[in-house]
Chains A and B, each alone.
Chain A
Amino acid sequence: MDSTVVNTSAENKRWGGGIEPLKASYGKMMMWFFLTSDSLTFTGFLAAYGFSRFKFADSWPIADDVFTHVPFIHGNYPMIFVAFMTFILIMSSVTMVLAVDAGHRMDKAKVSLYMFLTVLGGFVFLSSQAYEWTTFIKGGYGAVGTHGGNIIHFVDADGERVALKDFAIAESTERTQHTNKDGLWFSGEKALTSFTFEEVLAGFEANPGVFVRTTYTAEDGHKTVLSRSESLKELQTKGKNVVEGANLIQNEYGPPLFANYFFFITGFHGFHVSIGVMLNIIVFFNVLIGTYERRRSYEMVEKVGLYWHFVDLVWVFVFTFFYLV
């Protein structure tokens, strides 16, 4: 190829390729830029959450009233389970960075061990999130929705929550779920709640020890509890339907947007974790069959590691804004 005109003089080398001004390979750099843009997506979600929270400043649920469950243990333990989830994710970040470190030393056995532990941590986190979603969707105490779309909770004289089933008076009338085979013009019906509003109202009137806790936060940071006479008036004039658990239309915790953001943001994060677990598994098997050994570089572990740490990073913020603030 002597006839090809190629200028190889020193001053033109800058544009000849093969130079890395950022001292990072193309793949690693692009992973960083992807993460930058992805962080903006998550910021969009979390800032929108902040928007709605500022908008409904006085009626937003208090996280400690909502996320109180720990698997296998009954009772009221806010924060414990999410703290565990956070720790799991940070721990799997550590095993990931140890894998990267072992990769730099070309230590195949250590890389595969740490990758395996990272994948394991990812699965534990995803299962925890599945549990979190299940308890959130199922709900605990049940509530009454008002005509204005607010939520009414019930408490006893000490301010402890009272479940609907503890005071509602079940009537003998049967109300069967409307299904496809019974109707000519079937348009679908939401699942029936375990009590009707009338049953809850009758039970409330018969139990003087139950009070209404409104959706509005008082000065002291707790929800306002009404006196017995105010409670009766509140329920009789404003009550409309029974709400149990959470869906995208209504939830027993507070404004509908609260559940929507919960599903959307933790769901989008969980989706990222699932993708991360998948990538980690692919890399794990590539380590096992010696792909990177032959390449003489474990940089792929590093790139996947960046993504995995980012997932951890996002969770740190989700944790703060959903459970702490």
Chain B
Amino acid sequence: MESHAQAEPHKLAIFRGYLKFKSNKQKIWGVLIFLALVTAVEVLLGIYKPEMFMGQVLGMKALNWIFIILTIVKAYYITWDFMHMRDETASLRRMVVWTAVFLISYLIFILLQEGDYIEYVFSTGFVKTDF
């Protein structure tokens, strides 16, 4: 078992090869800086809520889509570089990631669709809550 850990060098390039690191340690710090930057952008957007991102895009505020996309970007780098998913075999990676992505999308779709429908029933006057 240790032979795997020893023999296989880590893949040291991120951003599809645009950024190559010299050692695994350097890559860790590089990814940390990137994650901290993304978090800082999220926090600044969250505090100032720029007017330009307040428009509706696909049923949600544009700002909320930005937050969700940035979160998925962060999740990708945590999984790929901190959890070393980048170094695992393609079959292990697909087993874990595709299964999760498929089931999570399904769950989210079902629940949000239903929540939206109930909101519609509430707001079209069948139930009174404000008294």
Contacts and interface: CB of A to CB of B under 8 A. Distances in A.
Contacts of B43: 79-80, 83
Contacts of A50: 108, 111-112, 115
B91 A21 contact: yes
B78 A22 contact: no
A96 B116 CA distance: 41
Given A36-B100, A90-B36, A47 B129 contact: no
Interface residues of B, number: 60
Nearest to B65: A325
A141 interface: no
A212 B16 CA distance: 54
B104 A32 contact: no
B88 A47 contact: no
A150 B103 CA distance: 35
Interface string B91-120: 110011001100110011011101110110
Contacts of A13: none
Contacts of A36: 96, 99-100
Contacts, number: 162
Interface residues of A, number: 71
A25 interface: yes
Contact of B75 (A47, A94, A317): A317
B124 interface: no
Given A32-B96, A323-B46, A324-B67, A24 B88 contact: yes
A26 to B, nearest CB: 9
Mostly, the B contact residues are helix
A323 B129 CA distance: 26
A310 B84 CA distance: 12
Contact of A90 (B25, B32, B128): B32
A145 B119 CA distance: 21
A90 B89 CA distance: 25
Closest 9 CB pairs of A and B: A54-B115, A51-B115, A297-B2, A51-B111, A47-B111, A22-B92, A148-B131, A320-B71, A83-B43
Interface of B: 1-2, 4-6, 8, 24-25, 28-29, 32, 35-36, 39-40, 42-43, 45-47, 49, 54, 64, 67-68, 71, 74-75, 78-79, 81-84, 88-89, 91-92, 95-96, 99-100, 103-104, 107-108, 110-112, 114-116, 118-119, 122-123, 128-131
Given A40-B100, A55-B118, A299-B1, 19 more contacts: A21-B91, A22-B92, A23-B8, A24-B89, A32-B92, A36-B99, A50-B111, A54-B118, A78-B46, A79-B47, A83-B40, A91-B32, A96-B82, A97-B81, A148-B130, A299-B5, A309-B79, A316-B71, A316-B74
